[in-house]
């Protein structure tokens, strides 16, 4: 049952030290104002993908559609919710001549997670990533399992085997390598929702989403596109020791079922699940079936830890 009360958002900033550079990272937090009077369910950090910044994905505001903000949805359930912009995206610094690849995104999560732990006193957090955000989250969990309570990887890819979307991207690899950034426009954003299986998303919502994305960025870093086209795998499932949920949209063109099932099989922690989400393509939280996605996430994040594991 959702908790009553007002949801408030607060802006935060972290600093990533990269050589002699101090890179400012934007963070956004949403929680119930009366959080201290509400049973605290845990802390969730949401990680965005390649072609979007964080708030359009996780805190989109559409009147009459309360589920458009993933952060609001989970804040009402009693979670302390956070998102952030990776370097090169949204409100975070874009001054360095870098392409913001997956490894750099995992570095960003390290800075953000340390800030959240110090600010809230929580020792571990739930971590959700979608698309290249899932790769960033998986690599971070591989590096820092001590900071992750549960890991949810949505629209994940491992080796790229059998991916029609990545096969198309490989044809443009020379252009991606030639520049640290690639232009985006409204048609490109619309294509995210139509390229795999038209009809899975409400296109009236997509226009509002595109407005929010383009208000912050007209270009995006190329690093994750390069990684997903020619550098996979970028993480090792055998080294991801935290409880993990793999979420795949039925029509997702990024990762094949076989690719993800092979990844899932190698995860060493017995507290793991692999779920196929019906009627969903690549972008699950923006799909017509978004309530199914929220239900699956809430079920996994609220699942009690096993008393006996046999280890």
For 236-284, what is each residue's pLDDT tens digit? 999 999 999 999 999 999 989 999 999 999 999 999 999 999 999 999 9
Indicate the pLDDT class of residue 77, thresholds 50, 70 and 90: very high
Q: How many CA atoms lie within 13 A of 35 on its CB side?
A: 19
Average pLDDT, integer, range 171-195: 96
Per-residue pLDDT, 30: 97
- Any domain includes 91: yes
- Any domain includes 29: yes
Measured distance CA(136)–CA(189) in Å, rounded: 21
Q: How many CB atoms lie within 10 A of CB 144?
A: 17
Measured distance CA(120)–CA(271) in Å, rounded: 26
Indicate the pLDDT class of residue 1, thresholds 50, 70 and 90: very low
In the predicted structure, residue 73 carries a pLDDT above the cut 60: yes
CATH number at residue 204: 3.40.50.1820
- Any domain includes 59: yes
- Any domain includes 1: no
Indicate the pLDDT class of residue 36, thresholds 50, 70 and 90: low
- Any domain includes 309: no
Indicate the pLDDT class of residue 65, thresholds 50, 70 and 90: confident
96-152 tens-digit pLDDT: 999 999 999 999 999 999 999 999 999 999 999 999 999 999 999 999 999 999 999
Per-residue pLDDT, 76: 94
- Any domain includes 2: no
8 Å CB contact between 193 and 201? yes
Helices of type H across the chain: 54-58, 70-76, 102-120, 132-143, 164-170, 173-178, 186-194, 203-214, 223-226, 257-266, 290-301
Per-residue pLDDT, 156: 96
State what percent of residues in the chain have pLDDT above 90.
Answer: 90
Per-residue pLDDT, 40: 78
Measured distance CA(182)–CA(222) in Å, rounded: 6
- Any domain includes 308: no
Largest Cα–Cα separation, the chain: 55
Average pLDDT value over all residues in the chain: 95
- Any domain includes 311: no
Question: In what helix (H) or strand (E) does residue 9 lie, and over which residues does it extend?
Answer: strand 7-18
State what percent of residues in the chain have pLDDT above 70.
Answer: 97
In the predicted structure, residue 298 carries a pLDDT above the cut 70: yes
pTM listed for this prediction: 0.96
Its domain, for residue 247, covers: 7-301
10-24, 38-52, 149-163, 211-225: least confident range: 38-52
- How many folded domains does the chain comprise? 1
Per-residue pLDDT, 64: 86
């Amino acid at each position: 049952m959702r908790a009553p009360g007002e949801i408030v958002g607060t802006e935060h900033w972290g600093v990533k030290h990269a050589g002699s550079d101090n890179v400012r990272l934007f963070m956004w937090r949403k929680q119930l104002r009366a959080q201290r009077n509400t049973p605290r369910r845990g802390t969730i950090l949401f990680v965005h993908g390649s072609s979007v910044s964080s708030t359009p994905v996780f805190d989109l505001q559409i009147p009459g559609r309360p589920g458009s903000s993933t952060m609001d949805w989970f804040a009402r359930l009693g979670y302390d919710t956070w998102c952030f912009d990776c370097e090169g995206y949204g409100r975070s610094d874009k001054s360095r001549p870098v392409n913001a690849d997956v490894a750099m995104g995992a570095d960003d999560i390290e800075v953000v997670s340390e800030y959240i732990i110090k600010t809230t006193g929580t020792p571990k957090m739930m971590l959700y990533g979608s698309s290249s955000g899932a790769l960033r989250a998986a690599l971070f969990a591989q590096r820092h399992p001590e900071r992750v309570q549960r890991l949810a990887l949505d629209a994940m890819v491992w080796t790229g085997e059998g991916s029609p979307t990545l096969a198309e991207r490989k044809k443009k690899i020379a252009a991606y390598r030639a520049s640290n950034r690639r232009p985006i426009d409204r048609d490109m954003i619309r294509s995210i929702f139509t390229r795999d299986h038209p009809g899975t998303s409400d296109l009236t919502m997509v226009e509002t989403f595109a407005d929010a994305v383009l208000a912050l960025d007209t270009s995006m870093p190329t690093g994750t596109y390069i990684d997903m086209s020619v550098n996979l795998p970028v993480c090792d499932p055998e080294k991801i020791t935290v409880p993990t949920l793999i979420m795949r949209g039925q029509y997702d063109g990024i990762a094949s079922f076989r690719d993800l099932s092979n990844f899932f099989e190698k995860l060493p922690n017995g507290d793991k699940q692999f779920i196929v989400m019906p009627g969903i393509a690549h972008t699950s939280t923006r799909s017509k079936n978004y309530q199914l996605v929220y239900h699956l996430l809430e079920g996994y994040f609220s699942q009690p830890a096993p008393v006996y594991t046999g280890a």
